[in-house]
Structure 1
């Protein structure tokens, strides 16, 4: 594609660590259909937030020395997924000041955590939160933006990171959210911090929910141990536009009220623009402009919910979180409490607590945390197949072109054909641990591990 005059002018600024941009893409799209965008992967799980770009053809076979265009080491520890636009990949990270074993124990004793859980927790003496811009073409780091240094941060789960929420690109801005440690709006060209907010919350095991941009609002799910609510900030200023508390919960402690889900937007058959925010015990639909409830559904005692829901044909499909994860299909055209009226079906076995589901051609695919993939009929929840992939899973699957891609903790990316007769066609190996969900752009697969970021094609 020939470069436009504005593109050429902006490219010339790269020597000053300024990246080119031409297009403005507003995220928070309705998730009823898959996106085919060729030039942007602006949010967690891609253009439509559902992990699907059918027009793309990334490689099936790849690895450390196969079909790798570049590999760039990344500093710090972060499970946030990469986002891409205008030839630049953005990631966030946390540089930890690591305590000794003795210091770690003393730091944990100063928290509100039960000593019986200390073995599951990690804690840092301080963290430096950063945003990193990487050139899509050659993998070079264009700029590193220092956001904030947090002294004596809260403890997190040993499987989590201090930078797990995925940033969002919207027009000229990049929004980076780190839960209780801060929310930042950046100018993507200059790297200037436009505004920042701190919304304190007791995550218990660290932040996880990624932000969503819709209209002029930055939507954040704030489901902590101390308080559970959803809020909308003015994306230009960071000012709070509204906040709405979650429905009452029946739980002995806040530990079973917390959640880490990422919201989605869907337009139902009645024309309502719904903000769907999954949480512990309740799935709730809100008016994104006002924060008022459209409907709520009680899904049981599930808590610490992580998987991002998906929507198709007036139905939302979601996992119920830790405890005993279930997969629910619920009609979204109701009002009030729809618990007894709008559930289409549920599946109670083989459902993930962390990876998100994926829908394509009337089938819904999941991989549970222990590496068993399953496929169900979207109409009635009938199991089509179940296949063991192996390994532990946290990253969400994607579908690009004619293949499904699943990344696990062991650094494997398993490639499968979709459909009722699905088959595993390739298992690829990279160095390190995969916790972030991959991105697909310009027929290339972008994979982030705990050590580096890769471009395969």
Structure 2
């Protein structure tokens, strides 16, 4: 750990009030909730359930997708990919053409064709109400075996929902009519498939586009899809595109001086941009980390990041600088037990993480001091959720561990569902929404 930081207090909810017309406090409009930090503003949430207990409804979902559910006006929205699988011979022939190293062939899956679909489900009954095929592609790029073609989470803003599939397209759909408003294609070599979720800030749809070939952040006019600005990432010194690609999702903050900032994590660099024109405000070189997935969290003048694949590290960085602040604004660094995929969770001055291999840790957010560490078990991609004084950890194996936040490890329950859990859960009212590889669950006690 480096450079302890004295905190006055930590703010657990987003400092910026997002200008999202028609989205209410009890909606879940984007990845990690309407505040973007994995904290649900609810007073009740379930503790115990199973396939036969406390399941209000369970709705099968066709295809495959790791996007999280988003909710507004009594409807749950999901994206999914309907795949026609390639034969093994077709798969090998394609990989021989695209991948230099045959030893890596086992990392990739390939579809002969895909249809990328938007689904609407009635919250009360679990009945599927709408199905819109947005994109059809023959011979799409291969993706990693752990990824899906529909991993980015849509974002709801007013009457519209914005579905982002990386290089396969970004589509704005009117939620009331199901009609397409606009679409945009931003070609990118993802390497292992798309992952970055879209983000709405005022009149802009902000996209992080960190591929193997190109690395930039762009803002599109949310009404028309026209480009407002595009800013290239800082120079990367990686030998190959594998170490340049990244899959993060922005957050927005306002610092103590009143500066609006878009915090955009990427390979090697964390950068804060001015949302009006995309100019750099400050940046930090975090090392060799790449394929970054965890979304940053922010509290009381400090942003917390995980540096992604390689050897993940947890960094705390003050946001009041200008220019390259690598040597001046890093408050502390922790190198052990840090996730490469699940995002951190900031609650009342404590920072909670679950590593990809099932180690849960709590750190003091001011100093970086380890408060506790426990092996929960399992594999993890979904980001933790905080709802009604409970932390939810969803594993690949279908287990959801429920913890009580605090300075001692306190496990309240373990709950088992069928299927694989990789999408981050949502909490509204007194219930949870949990997506597996096969179905969407509404759970309430």
TM-score between the two structures when normalised by the length of structure 2: 0.95
Contact 1:212-1:220 at 8 Å conserved across structures? yes
State the secondary structure of the residue aligned to 2:89: helix
Give, in angstroms, the shift of residue 110 of structure 1.
Answer: 2.6
Give, in angstroms, the shift of residue 111 of structure 1.
Answer: 1.7
Contact 1:31-1:266 at 8 Å conserved across structures? yes
Provide the rounded CA distance (Å) in 2 between the counterparts of 1:244 and 1:112.
29
Q: Deviations over 1:107-158 (max 9, x none)?
A: 2223245222111101111100000000000000000011010111001000
Alignment partner of 1:153 out of 135, 140, 164? 140
Provide the rounded CA distance (Å) in 1 between the counterparts of 2:214 and 2:287.
19
Alignment partner of 2:14 out of 8, 12, 31? 31
Query: Are residues 59 and 79 of structure 1, via their aligned partners in 2, closer, same or farther at CA, if it must alter by over 3 Å?
Result: same
Q: Deviations over 1:354-373 (max 9, x none)?
A: 00000001000000000000
- Aligned pairs (5 A) from 1:213-362: 213-362=200-349
Task: Name the structure 2 match of 1:12.
Answer: none
Give, in angstroms, the shift of residue 99 of structure 1.
Answer: 1.2
Give, in angstroms, the shift of residue 424 of structure 1.
Answer: 1.0
Contact 2:385-2:392 at 8 Å conserved across structures? yes
Structure 1: 4+ residue segments shifted above 4 A: 33-38
Provide the rounded CA distance (Å) in 2 between the counterparts of 1:352 and 1:130.
30
State the secondary structure of the residue aligned to 1:50: coil
The question of 1:77 aligning with 2:64 is answered yes
Give, in angstroms, the shift of residue 30 of structure 1.
Answer: 7.8
Give, in angstroms, the shift of residue 34 of structure 1.
Answer: 11
Provide the rounded CA distance (Å) in 2 between the counterparts of 1:59 and 1:84.
18
Provide the rounded CA distance (Å) in 2 between the counterparts of 1:152 and 1:186.
25
Provide the rounded CA distance (Å) in 2 between the counterparts of 1:42 and 1:203.
25
Provide the rounded CA distance (Å) in 2 between the counterparts of 1:400 and 1:320.
26
Task: Name the structure 1 match of 2:8.
Answer: none
Structure 1 alignment gaps of length 5 or more: 1-28
Provide the rounded CA distance (Å) in 2 between the counterparts of 1:192 and 1:378.
45
Q: Deviations over 1:209-237 (max 9, x none)?
A: 00000011000000000010000001001
Alignment partner of 1:168 out of 155, 177, 191? 155
TM-score between the two structures when normalised by the length of structure 1: 0.92
Contact 2:42-2:427 at 8 Å conserved across structures? no
State the secondary structure of the residue aligned to 2:167: helix
Provide the rounded CA distance (Å) in 2 between the counterparts of 1:441 and 1:135.
14
Contact 1:56-1:441 at 8 Å conserved across structures? no
State the secondary structure of the residue aligned to 2:414: strand
Task: Name the structure 1 match of 2:356.
Answer: 369
State the secondary structure of the residue aligned to 2:43: coil
The question of 1:206 aligning with 2:189 is answered no
Contact 2:112-2:139 at 8 Å conserved across structures? yes
Structure 2 alignment gaps of length 5 or more: 1-11
Give, in angstroms, the shift of residue 33 of structure 1.
Answer: 8.3
- Aligned pairs (5 A) from 1:54-133: 54-133=41-120
Provide the rounded CA distance (Å) in 2 between the counterparts of 1:30 and 1:54.
9
Give, in angstroms, the shift of residue 31 of structure 1.
Answer: 2.0
Give, in angstroms, the shift of residue 195 of structure 1.
Answer: 0.5
Relative contact order higher in (CA < 8 Å, ≥ 6 apart): 2
State the secondary structure of the residue aligned to 2:415: strand
State the secondary structure of the residue aligned to 1:110: helix
The number of residue pairs the alignment matches comes to 429
Task: Name the structure 1 match of 2:5.
Answer: none
Task: Name the structure 1 match of 2:427.
Answer: 440
Contact 1:39-1:86 at 8 Å conserved across structures? no
Contact 2:263-2:270 at 8 Å conserved across structures? yes
Task: Name the structure 2 match of 1:431.
Answer: 418
